[in-house]
Structure 1
Amino acid sequence: MHAEYAIIGGTGVYDPAMLQDAERHTIETPYGTAEVTLGTYAGKRVAFMPRHGYKHSVAPHKINYRANIRALKQLGVHTVLATAAVGSLKKELAPGDLVLVNDFLDMTKSRPHTFYEGAPEGVVHIDMTDAYCSRTRGHLAKVAASQNIKVVDGGVYVTTEGPRFETPAEIRLYAAWGGDVVGMTSVPEVILAKEAEMCYATVAMVTNYCTGISAHPLTHQEVVDTMKENVQKIRELFFHAIECDHGERTCACPHALAELGSL
């Protein structure tokens, strides 16, 4: 079993459509098991991973992020394209918009954030200057333009613990801090991908305005419905990006662990 690319599907993105000869597998890792569907697209091996499980049965704070990322690493994945359903902190980011995330604020509380917790693995202070691989983001932006898919190039993702939605006071704080969108899954996924020396990028789908901005109380169904209406745009963007990706990994991602050695 092997794969070069991975698509991590968030809320509403469970269908690995477009993959040829798709087969579901359970991958054993030192951190537990992870579910993936392996297949081929445009002659390239792709792993599809449903972040919340195939039946959306795992809450954001209970996702085994370390098992998921380690499983992709064991498969040989070098590039991860992730989706995320997010709320908007700004009126100009409307439901249905796609945001190419370039930074994050971490408001999580209880999740393991690293593969390196001391002996015997060692301790790593991973550099997050380019948290979401700029080379991969640039490639996605170029492909989106060629496919007439509108994306907002750049946005700060505020990651909250969940599973509850945020309070109006929290939303005002996150907006004042420079956040653009709010979700519950990007951290620690993006950090672990960097520790695994993968190129990782997230395209966030705005599904709603946040509490205090929205004119009505938020529901999970609203999130699911908006994703369902717009998921084809993300799917087309990701698969075209995989098909067109023939460049070298000239970014710093393959050398993120230079001080320690690769996983």
Structure 2
Amino acid sequence: MTPLLAIIGGTGLTALDPLQITGSEHPSTPYGEPSSPLIRGQLGERSVVFLARHGLDHTLPPHKINYRANLWALHQTGVQQIVAVAAVGGIRDDMAPGVLAFPDQIIDYTYGRACTFFEENLSQVTHIDFTEPYCPDLRNRLILAARQLHLGARESCTYAAMPGPRLETAAEIRKLARDGCDIVGMTGMPEAALARELGLRYATCAVVANWAAGKVAGQITMAEIEQNLQHSMARVKNLLIQLIALLDPP
């Protein structure tokens, strides 16, 4: 059965508890092995497939993730739409820890990552339109699902994709704010662009895990991030169940 939706889980979401698992796959791709097995199951009585972006034990740092293998493996299942869950830092003043946000733009500051499928054995150079990097229809359904659940999600923002794995300096965050960025993460690119190259409908549910560097006094700790994500992921799971009911069958 072709899954209705693929869910890519980021930091804080290496497993999807409400998922009634029906099987798993260990696919191979022309680009190597994906981050984790593909977990198939039922979510809200609809077929979905789940992939843990950082691996099931959260051992893959952002710059070591095989984004091409991940997207290719999901594409092979026949899925047409993907929701990517991502932990981020909050830059804009209303992006406090615990907030859910659905970015509509992204700025790519990463480097050195394999970022395209279009580089070998081409009959012609291929360029994708990336004016709107996230699927408007899937974003709108995420927004509707969040409204129905009264989650107070931020419905428009710009995601800054940074190289990682270190967190940013306060000066870097000030620069990102001047550039128009509202949230900052490490995995948004090339994931979004690779999905577009494969013709997949892709949207991100960003979970603000911490204030970005320099926004508040003191250091950012992993304990703080993990605590905030733990409190937020129950709402993300409810959001995904609500979203499923709003999606058209494949």
Q: TM-score range by the shorter chain?
A: over 0.9
> Aligned equivalents of 2:21 and 2:96: distance in 1?
37
Pick closer, same or farther for the CA change 1:221–1:110 going to 2, 3 Å.
farther
What does residue 232 of structure 2 align with?
230
> Aligned equivalents of 2:101 and 2:163: distance in 1?
21
Alpha carbons 1:81, 1:200 under 8 Å: kept = yes
Alignment map for 1:92-107 (pairs within 5 Å):
92-107=94-109
Alpha carbons 1:66, 1:115 under 8 Å: kept = yes
How big is the shift at 1:123? 2.8
What does residue 52 of structure 1 align with?
54
How big is the shift at 1:219? 1.9
User: What's the secondary structure of 1:73's corresponding residue?
Assistant: helix
Alpha carbons 2:146, 2:153 under 8 Å: kept = yes
Alignment map for 1:159-198 (pairs within 5 Å):
159-198=161-200
Match of 1:89 among 88, 91, 94: 91
How big is the shift at 1:80? 0.3
How big is the shift at 1:21? 3.4
Structure 1 vs Structure 2 CA RMSD: 1.5
Alpha carbons 1:91, 1:209 under 8 Å: kept = no
What does residue 17 of structure 1 align with?
17
Match of 2:127 among 125, 128, 132: 125
How big is the shift at 1:220? 2.3
> Aligned equivalents of 2:249 and 2:46: distance in 1?
14
What does residue 41 of structure 1 align with?
43
User: What's the secondary structure of 2:96's corresponding residue?
Assistant: coil
Alpha carbons 2:113, 2:190 under 8 Å: kept = yes
Q: What are the Cα deviations for residues 26-51 of structure 1, in whole angstroms up to 9, with x where unaligned?
A: 11111112221111234432111110
What does residue 154 of structure 2 align with?
152
What does residue 248 of structure 2 align with?
246
Segment of structure 1 superposing worse, 92-101 or 113-122: 113-122
Alpha carbons 1:16, 1:37 under 8 Å: kept = no
| TM-score normalised over the length of structure 1 | 0.90
User: What's the secondary structure of 1:139's corresponding residue?
Assistant: helix
What does residue 218 of structure 2 align with?
216
What does residue 140 of structure 1 align with?
142
Alpha carbons 1:20, 1:39 under 8 Å: kept = yes
Gaps of 5+ in 2: none
Pick closer, same or farther for the CA change 1:70–1:122 going to 2, 3 Å.
farther
What does residue 257 of structure 1 align with?
none
> Aligned equivalents of 1:153 and 1:231: distance in 2?
18
How big is the shift at 1:247? 7.1
Alpha carbons 1:116, 1:122 under 8 Å: kept = no
> Aligned equivalents of 1:10 and 1:21: distance in 2?
19
Code of the residue aligned with 1:208 in structure 2: it is N
| TM-score normalised over the length of structure 2 | 0.94
Identity %: 38
How big is the shift at 1:246? 1.9
- Higher-strand-fraction structure: 1
How big is the shift at 1:15? 1.7
Alpha carbons 1:60, 1:162 under 8 Å: kept = yes
> Aligned equivalents of 1:21 and 1:88: distance in 2?
33
User: What's the secondary structure of 1:124's corresponding residue?
Assistant: coil
What does residue 3 of structure 1 align with?
3
How big is the shift at 1:122? 4.6
> Aligned equivalents of 1:240 and 1:202: distance in 2?
15
